[in-house]
């Protein structure tokens, strides 16, 4: 008799992810057949149902594929007794025979609001642990429900196709750490939260429900407990699945448009030799006529790419900034230079658009 269907589902999802990790490691000559130790895969575990289910599946599947498995929990220090909770999670990871298993304490700042600040601190800690242990990957327990919530949040921001594409199954570090291009893996993006909780229950795994997940002061909590149930009540069941499917379709579209924009950027670069002050610092000159001929979705991606390359922080560059630059191309009537985050300016000189730090 096989495992419970919920346990089988989480193990299959993790097995597929680990097979991808293994292929990547083999391509780099670091697989189990190489001279190095077997690759290490870490699970980021909060002690909640999603990450505990993930930890149990990793502990089961990794040895069968010749991989080492470890775990890490991050203590944000935002609740009384959080250090005790972190030690308890480490004990649970050790009970699953995960090694190394450790807790990392972080200091959460204020930049971007409490949710963004906690996320920044958490990923910085996970990056540090992964690099210290030479981990091939870090598994994250985001589920299909989390993906649906992310799509709704992106829709509320109104930032375009990329914001609707949700979380990627494979991603680099959001902190921009070098060498972390494929570090983070999300095996459960096609698994719902009910399945992970059921898998914990049938395996008698203790779980901890973070009170922040039910705190209405957090935007994601309101989406989870108010917005999504209201949508399902109004539209019927299947909203979560539809939003998750939208994320994948949007990601495919955004990836294609981004690839088009990379090629287009090379084609629209102007000859800067006759444009004053362009080559001073980090600047670029773009041919306005060629930009104008591009579809707007591609043109705006080109503008964002070159503006970030000129020194404007990606996290501070919003859709309204790109729209203002775009008007220098599509609605030109002698506007002054546009000041952008990171002391970057965009201005039009005749038939050339110049974007550079000032």
8 and 2 Cβ atoms separated by less than 8 Å? yes
51 belongs to an annotated ligand binding site? yes
Would you state the pLDDT for residue 279? Answer: 47
Residue 148, φ and ψ in degrees, nearest 5: -60, -40
- Tracing tokens 């699945």 back to the chain, one arrives at 241
Whole-prediction pTM value? Answer: 0.83
Architecture, CATH, for domain 269-357 = 2-Layer Sandwich (3.30)
d(C-alpha 348, C-alpha 352), whole Å: 6
d(C-alpha 48, C-alpha 50), whole Å: 6
Domain ranges of the chain: 5-250, 269-357
Is the predicted pLDDT of residue 272 greater than 80, yes or no?
no
Give, in order, the Cα–Cα distances in Å from 127 to each of 58, 62, 63, 70, 105. 19, 21, 23, 14, 13
Q: Kindly indicate the confidence band of residue 112, based on its pLDDT and cuts at 50, 70 and 90.
A: low
d(C-alpha 72, C-alpha 69), whole Å: 11
**Beta strands per DSSP E along the chain:** 40-44, 68-75, 101-105, 137-139, 170-171, 184-185, 283-287, 338-340, 344-349, 352-357
127 and 72 Cβ atoms separated by less than 8 Å? no
**Between 248 and 173, the higher pLDDT residue:** 248
Neighbouring-strand partners of residue 352? 287, 349
What is the overall mean pLDDT for the chain? 89
| Number of other residues whose CB lies within 10 A of the CB of residue 334 | 5
Assigned CATH topology for domain 5-250: Rossmann fold (3.40.50)
Question: Torsion over CA of 326, 329, 333 and 336, rounded to 10 degrees?
Answer: 60
- For 41-78, the pLDDT digits (tens) are 999 999 999 999 999 999 999 999 999 999 999 998 77
The mean-pLDDT minimum among 72-76, 90-94, 214-218, 289-293 falls in 214-218
Nearest C-alpha neighbor of 329 from the set 299, 356, 306, 285: 299
Would you state the pLDDT for residue 271? Answer: 61
Q: Which two tokens stand for residue 120?
A: 């920044």
Across residues 225-254, what is the average pLDDT?
92
Question: Torsion over CA of 344, 286, 300 and 265, rounded to 10 degrees?
Answer: -110
Would you state the pLDDT for residue 117? Answer: 83
d(C-alpha 355, C-alpha 340), whole Å: 10
Handedness of CA 220, 223, 226, 228 (dihedral sign): negative
46 belongs to an annotated ligand binding site? yes
Distance of CA 95 to the CA centre of its chain: 29
d(C-alpha 109, C-alpha 116), whole Å: 9
Residue 149, φ and ψ in degrees, nearest 5: -60, -40
48 belongs to an annotated ligand binding site? yes
49 belongs to an annotated ligand binding site? yes
Would you state the pLDDT for residue 293? Answer: 96
Decide if 5-250 and 269-357 have a common fold. no
Across residues 173-201, what is the average pLDDT?
90
Q: Which two tokens stand for residue 227?
A: 């917005």
Would you state the pLDDT for residue 33? Answer: 56
Burial class (CB in 10 A: 0-12, 13-18, 19+), 107: exposed
């Amino acid at each position: 008799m096989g495992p419970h269907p919920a346990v089988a589902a989480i193990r299959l999802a993790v097995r597929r992810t680990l097979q991808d990790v293994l292929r990547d490691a083999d391509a780099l000559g670091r697989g189990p057949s190489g001279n190095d130790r077997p690759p290490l895969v870490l699970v980021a575990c909060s002690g909640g149902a999603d990450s505990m289910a993930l930890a149990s599946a990793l502990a089961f599947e990794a040895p069968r594929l010749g991989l080492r498995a470890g775990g890490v929990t991050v203590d944000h220090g935002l609740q009384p007794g959080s250090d005790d909770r972190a030690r308890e999670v480490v004990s649970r990871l050790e009970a699953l025979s995960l090694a190394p298993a450790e807790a990392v304490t972080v200091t959460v700042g204020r930049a971007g609001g409490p949710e963004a600040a906690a996320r920044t601190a958490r990923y910085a800690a996970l990056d540090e642990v992964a690099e210290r242990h030479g981990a091939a990957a870090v598994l994250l327990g985001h589920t299909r429900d989390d993906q649906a919530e992310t799509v709704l949040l992106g829709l509320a921001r109104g930032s375009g196709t990329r914001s609707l594409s949700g979380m990627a199954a494979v991603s680099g570090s959001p902190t921009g750490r070098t060498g972390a291009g494929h570090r983070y893996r999300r095996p459960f993006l096609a698994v719902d939260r009910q399945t992970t909780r059921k898998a914990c229950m049938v395996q008698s795994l203790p779980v901890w429900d973070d009170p922040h997940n039910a705190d209405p002061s957090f935007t994601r909590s309101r989406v989870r407990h108010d917005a999504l149930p209201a949508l399902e009540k109004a539209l019927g069941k299947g909203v979560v699945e539809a939003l998750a499917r939208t994320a994948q379709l949007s990601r495919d579209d955004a990836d294609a448009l981004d690839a088009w924009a990379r090629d287009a950027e090379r084609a629209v670069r102007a000859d800067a030799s006759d444009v004053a002050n362009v080559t001073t610092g980090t600047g670029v000159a773009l041919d306005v006529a060629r930009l104008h001929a591009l579809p707007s979705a591609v043109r705006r991606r080109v503008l964002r790419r070159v503006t970030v390359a000129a020194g404007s922080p990606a996290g501070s560059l919003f859709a309204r900034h790109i729209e203002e630059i775009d008007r220098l191309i599509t609605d030109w009537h002698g506007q002054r230079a546009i000041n952008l985050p990171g002391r970057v300016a965009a201005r039009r000189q005749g038939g050339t658009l110049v974007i550079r730090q000032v």
